[in-house]
Amino acid sequence: MAFNLQTFKTRTLTAIVFAAVMMSGLFINNWTFFILFTVIHFGCWIEYFKLVGLIDENYLHINSIQKNGVMLLGWAFMLWMTNHAYKIGSLELHGIGWLLMLVLAVILLSTEIVFKKRLNVKSIGYSLLGLVYISLSWGLMIDLRNQGMAFKGEYLMFDFGKWLPCIIIFSIWINDTMAYIVGSFIGKTPLSKISPKKTWEGTIGGIILSVAIISLVQYFLDKRFDIHIFIIALISAVAGTFGDLLESKIKRLANVKDSGNFMPGHGGFLDRFDSLLLATPFVWLYVHLFS
């Protein structure tokens, strides 16, 4: 493929703006973190509706109450997962989220039964899959931000609550970059028919280098090796690779190249966060069960 200077400039500028927005949301405070993932949540849902509609045309015809209601139900779950870390005065977002989930669940079921006289099992199934695929992951990401705050005091060099989500994200970014570089030089064995450009050599090399870099940076900052961060980086890189393949499969079923175009030259929300969507639940399980 011939080098296109204009395309390169567009992709570079978009990547810089994206990185700046992500870093601001991740590092300023817990509110910018929540706002960042709220935007990502709704962006992913909009693209999910489009992709599923291309796979099954009937899903395009669900009414606006169902479409907006299921997105808000997912966001209410995110509010609920803030636990007691987010307050407006004496009002906790946690309680608002729980109440909103109950109200929306009743509205959605009533709409489906009263107005349609019967349950559309297939459409409900697609919506439930979206809640698991998108809203569950971002709700657990919010919880990881709060759970990580409980580690504060053990780590003298940094606030682990702020860095726990970053470890997942940076592991995935480094893995993607290193997998591309290693695969470009020595990649020969295709990883999957779903994504023909990925190779086993690149995938394994990306995972090893990602875990090594994250572990070295952690050792440099904290002056000791931490097995939990090593494992979190490993889980993120491995699960993130499968997350990328899963979204590629969905796009192939929908017969599209990109999930959206909110980032010129880089695709949509699902294209950018597919790895994180799958990595987050696995890291959350590890943190709650073992660390």
CA distance 138 to 169: 13
Q: What pLDDT tens digit does each residue of the chain (291 aa) get?
A: 344 556 656 667 877 888 899 999 998 888 999 999 999 999 999 999 999 999 999 898 888 888 999 999 999 999 999 988 788 888 889 999 999 999 999 998 888 777 666 667 888 899 999 999 999 999 999 999 987 554 444 443 456 678 899 999 999 999 999 998 999 889 889 888 888 888 999 999 999 999 999 999 999 988 889 999 999 999 999 999 999 999 999 999 999 998 988 776 668 999 999 999 999 999 999 999 986
Length of the chain: 291
Task: Find the helix or strand (DSSP H, E) in which 198 lies.
Answer: strand 195-199
Per-residue H/E/C for 63-119? CHHHHHHHHHHHHHHHHHCCCCCCEECCEEHHHHHHHHHHHHHHHHHHHHHHHCCCC
CA distance 109 to 126: 15
CA distance 63 to 60: 9
Domain that holds residue 82: 5-289
Residue 263's pLDDT is what?
75
Residue 91's pLDDT is what?
87
CA distance 255 to 54: 8
Q: What is the pTM of this model?
A: 0.90
CA distance 31 to 9: 32
Instruction: Give the side-chain half-sphere CA count within 13 A for 101.
Output: 17
| Paired strand residues for 190 | 199
Number of domains in the chain: 1
Residue 118's pLDDT is what?
65
Q: Cα 204 vs. chain centroid, distance in angstroms?
A: 22
Task: Find the helix or strand (DSSP H, E) in which 148 lies.
Answer: helix 136-148
